[in-house]
Amino acid sequence: MLNKWKWNIHTNTCPARLLNPVRVSKESTATLVIHNVTLADSGTYGCVLVLTTRNPITSKVKLVVTSLPNITLNPSSSIIRVNESEGLFISCSAVGIPEPNVTWLRLRDGGKFRKNQGVGHVTINLSNITRNDSGIYNCCATNNPKENPTCRSTTISVQYKPEIDVVQSNDTVSSYNNGTVTIYCLANGVPSPLFTWYDPRNRSILTGSHTVTGVGVLELVTIDAGSYGLYKCKAENLLGYDEHIINVTQTGLKHLILLMVLMVLFMRKQSSKSCFENQVRQKLQKKGF
């Protein structure tokens, strides 16, 4: 009986926007196809099955045409810099049809952690912000379960004054006259701190120092007795500074003699080893190896 069925698009009730130009067609058994769908095509569509011996059977379906959400962040900067202990307020608005669901997510350690959610407009309010709040935050909006969420991200950079890591930094180092010693001073801070070194007379040292990603390095030549004493490392950025004292002491004569003896013994051992290897090599050559 199915091959005797006939169905038509009722032009009297079909909206003019679908007929001029024609954007509807029939496919397979009672399948209506709408081409180049627009927002105006949202609405209720009906199908009426007319029977010869019974009352018509009617079925209706609601079509919801969605538009991708358009997201606006305030502040709109991709990187937001804020000082530690201050407050930060970020809003996310999403416009679309239907009105999108909006969620703030924090990306951390490879995971996503929900911070807040709502419809159309959502905010995150970080009061008394700390350096642990630094990171990437995503605002995602969705209004169609068959579409991937639309997202925009911002990075929060929490700035704080330098703090010297006294555990990792040198505390006391030893050297000898005309010797060279390297001193390290490690500090955390955002922005990255700049390092200044001061000698035991509190005079700034202009040569022999450099910085490598949060580490102040001083190459110091200890010429005479005036080269020993308390050296100061100062780590500084826009928000403040921190200081650390490093004591440079003179190596005692006994320690210096012991060091020289050890070096002589090491050189003799290397020389003896080389002589033994030469003797073995000569014997092997005599035997034809």
Please state the three-class secondary structure of the chain as a single string.
CHHHCCCCCCCCCCCHHHHCCECEEEECCCEEEECCCCHHHCEEEEEEECCCCCCCEEEEEEECCCCCCEEEEECCCCEEEEECCCCEEEEEEEECCCCCEEEEEEEECCEEEEEEEEECEEEEEECCCCHHHCEEEEEEEECCCCCCCEEEEEEEEEEEEEEECCCCCCCEEEECCCEEEEEEEEEEEECCCEEEEECCCCCECCCCEEECCCEEEEEEEECCHHHCEEEEEEEEECCEEEEEEEEEEECCHHHHHHHHHHHHHHHHHHHHHHHHHHHHHHHHHHCCC
What is the pTM assigned to this prediction? Answer: 0.70
Co-location of 59 and 42 in the same domain: yes
Domain presence at residue 217: yes
Co-location of 39 and 108 in the same domain: no
- pLDDT number for residue 30: 74
Beta bridge partners of 244: 233
Domain boundary among 48, 63, 78: 63
Q: Which domain holds residue 113?
A: 67-160
Co-location of 19 and 78 in the same domain: no
Question: Can you tell me the mean pLDDT for 216-235?
Answer: 95
- pLDDT number for residue 63: 86
Task: Categorize the per-residue pLDDT at 277 as very low, low, confident or very high, splitting at 50, 70 and 90.
Answer: low
* Residue-averaged pLDDT of the chain: 87
Total domain count, the chain: 3
Domain boundary among 40, 63, 86: 63
Domain presence at residue 280: no
Domain presence at residue 216: yes
pLDDT above 90: residue 42: no
Question: Can you tell me the mean pLDDT for 119-135?
Answer: 94
Question: Can you tell me the mean pLDDT for 139-165?
Answer: 95
- pLDDT number for residue 282: 63
pLDDT above 90: residue 17: no
Domain presence at residue 287: no
**Segment among 47-56, 104-113, 189-198, 217-226 with least mean pLDDT:** 47-56
- pLDDT number for residue 37: 87
pLDDT above 80: residue 262: no
Co-location of 189 and 117 in the same domain: no
Q: Which long-range contacts (CB under 8 A, 24 or more apart) does 13-18 make?
A: 17/41
Co-location of 153 and 179 in the same domain: no
pLDDT above 90: residue 209: yes
Domain boundary among 160, 191, 207: 160
Cβ atoms of 175 and 220 within 8 Å: the answer is yes
Domain CATH code at residue 93: 2.60.40.10
